Each structure stands twice: as C-alpha cells, then as structure tokens.
C-alpha cells in the first residue's frame, strides 16, 4: 500500500487524473491524503467531487477555504460562480455537499508521523489543542444548524487566539487558522491579507510564515498543508507544503509519505488561470 498526499486540486480534474496515473494510484490498495481546496476556479469541480466520492474509503480529506465557500454557497450564504454552479445544480448536490461537510479540518496519523490541515496549525496550538479545536468546528459544520453557524464564520473574526472571547469568535479563529493562515507576527497575531511568497522585506516588517513564528508551540508530527501557491513546494523537518499552483500555471504535486524519504511526483495543469 502506498500513501500519497496531494496539494490543492481546485477542480483541475484532468491534471488530477494524470497525476493519479503517474503515481499508479489504485484505490483498492493505496490511500490519498488531500490537503483541501478540492473545488472552485478549475473547470471540472463536479467531476473531482464525484470521483472522490466514488473512492471515499480510500481518501483522507481536510477542508480548505474554497471547500467551505462551496458549502456556504449551497446554503445561500455566499454567491456561486460558474465553476461550482454544476455542483449546486447537480441532482447529487445534497449528497456531495453533505459528504464534504463530514470531512475534517485536521487529520492525524501517529504511525506515519504526519498530520494535515489545509493552511497549517496555528502557532498558538499544540497538537492536543489542534485536535480538540478541529473536532469542535467539525461538530458545528456537521450539525443541523450548520448554515446558521457558517454564516457567522464569514464575518470579521479574531487574528489572535483568546480563550476569553465569545464562542463564535473562537470558532472564527479556529476555522480561519486551519483554512486561511499564511503569515504571523512575533506575538502570534495572524495576517490573513498577505498572500505573496515570503521575502526579507516582509520579515523586516515582522511577518513570518506561520511555521517560522517565534515560540510556536511544538508539534511532534510533520505538518502537511496546502493553501499557499506562492510559497510553492517546501519541506523542512517540521512541514511539507504541497500547493504548487496548478490552477495558476504551476503544477499539481503528490508526495509519497509512507516511505523513509518523501517521493515527489508533479504534473503540469492544462487549464491554468491568469494570476
């Protein structure tokens, strides 16, 4: 059995299928870890969801910000667009969205020594906190009141974790950290606006990638994440970043993680958008 982690697909079905061919993925024997943002902007988001649903016993998925946007559009909270309209108009819309709602914000595998979250793990959280808070918002998203709760998640939230804040503000922080985080300040405040690649100029302003944040709580597992196409592929002893900007003219990346040395396979995207 092989275990492959794959970065943001964002509806790029053809590139996804090509990549699965390159790694000789067999859902009967192998496992996929998907780092979120399965849909939106790419030309075949519906096909991506339908395929993943068909092999759902062979995939581990964490939700990305674009997946949350799709769920919000299903509830009428966010506007749809031409790339997710086919999902919402499909006779299988309820089935697919309910399945998407059942996915995680954080996946953990102690045996392999990895965990996975779309944008990473807040520098405020150790692993126990991350697991607990991920389950907290998963439960809210999977509840009968998901639409009401989700609408509140799109309002201005906190950029710094504070246990004394309201339950809704804490939920906003948790969801934002798991799905939208890139940079942090020395005091662990998160910056959700800066989307570019890390530079010396940004570091001089006090902005560092979240995984470089000073006094970040230690996580004893290697963290797989996506979300950050301008960062691209990045690996060190603590993290493995897999969003290589397929949608933006880059590549779709798979990393085999059940081996001693990570194996990387990439394919180009034939339906790239202009940045």
Q: Which residue has the tokens 């004394």?
A: 164
Please report, for the chain, the start and end positions of each structural domain, with discontinuous segments joined by +: 3-268
Helix (H, G, I), strand (E, B) or coil at 131: helix
- CA–CA separation, 115 and 133 (whole Å): 14
The pLDDT, as a whole number, for residue 148 is: 95
The pLDDT, as a whole number, for residue 156 is: 73
> How far are the Cα atoms of 39, 41, 140 from residue 97, in angstroms, in the given order?
12, 17, 15
Tell me the pLDDT of the chain (275 aa) as tens digits: 999 999 999 999 999 999 999 999 999 999 999 999 999 988 899 999 999 999 999 999 999 999 999 999 999 999 999 999 999 999 999 999 999 999 999 999 999 999 999 999 999 999 999 999 999 999 999 999 999 999 999 887 688 898 899 999 999 999 999 999 999 999 999 999 899 999 999 998 899 999 999 889 999 999 999 999 999 999 999 999 999 999 898 999 999 999 999 999 999 987 655 54
The pLDDT, as a whole number, for residue 272 is: 57
- CA–CA separation, 153 and 145 (whole Å): 13
b/e code 234-264 from CB counts within 10 Å (16+ = b):
beeeebbbbbbbbbbebbbbbbbbbeeeeee
The pLDDT, as a whole number, for residue 42 is: 87
The pLDDT, as a whole number, for residue 271 is: 62
Q: Is the C-alpha dihedral spanning 26, 28, 34, 37 positive or negative?
A: positive
- CA–CA separation, 114 and 239 (whole Å): 9
- CA–CA separation, 1 and 109 (whole Å): 15
Which pTM value belongs to this model?
Answer: 0.96
User: What is the dotted CATH code of the domain comprising 3-268?
Assistant: 3.60.21.10
Angle, helix 167-180 to helix 65-74, in steps of 10 degrees = 120
- CA–CA separation, 142 and 45 (whole Å): 22
């Amino acid at each position: 059995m092989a275990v492959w982690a794959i970065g943001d697909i964002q509806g790029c079905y053809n590139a996804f299928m090509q990549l699965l061919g390159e790694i000789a993925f067999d859902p009967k024997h192998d496992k996929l870890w998907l780092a979120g943002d399965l849909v939106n902007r790419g030309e075949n988001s519906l096909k991506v969801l339908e395929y993943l649903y068909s092999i759902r016993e062979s995939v581990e998925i964490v939700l990305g910000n674009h997946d949350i946007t799709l769920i919000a559009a299903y509830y009428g909270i966010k506007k749809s667009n031409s790339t997710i309209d086919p999902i919402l108009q499909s006779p299988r819309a309820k089935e697919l969205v309910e399945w998407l709602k059942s996915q995680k914000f954080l996946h953990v595998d102690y045996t392999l020594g990895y965990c996975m979250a779309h944008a990473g793990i807040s520098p405020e959280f150790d692993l126990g906190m991350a697991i607990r808070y991920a389950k907290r918002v998963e439960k809210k998203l999977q509840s009968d009141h998901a639409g009401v709760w989700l609408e509140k998640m799109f309002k201005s939230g906190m950029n710094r974790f504070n246990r004394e804040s309201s339950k809704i503000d804490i939920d906003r922080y948790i969801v934002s950290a798991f799905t939208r985080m890139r940079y942090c300040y020395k005091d662990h405040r998160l910056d959700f606006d800066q989307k570019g690649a890390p530079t010396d100029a940004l570091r001089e302003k006090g902005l560092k990638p979240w995984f470089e944040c000073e006094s970040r709580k230690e996580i004893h597992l290697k963290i797989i994440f996506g979300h950050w196409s301008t960062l691209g592929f990045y690996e060190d002893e603590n993290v493995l970043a897999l969003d290589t900007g397929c949608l933006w003219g880059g590549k779709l990346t798979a990393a085999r993680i059940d081996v001693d040395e990570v194996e990387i396979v990439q394919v180009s995207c034939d339906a790239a958008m202009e940045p």
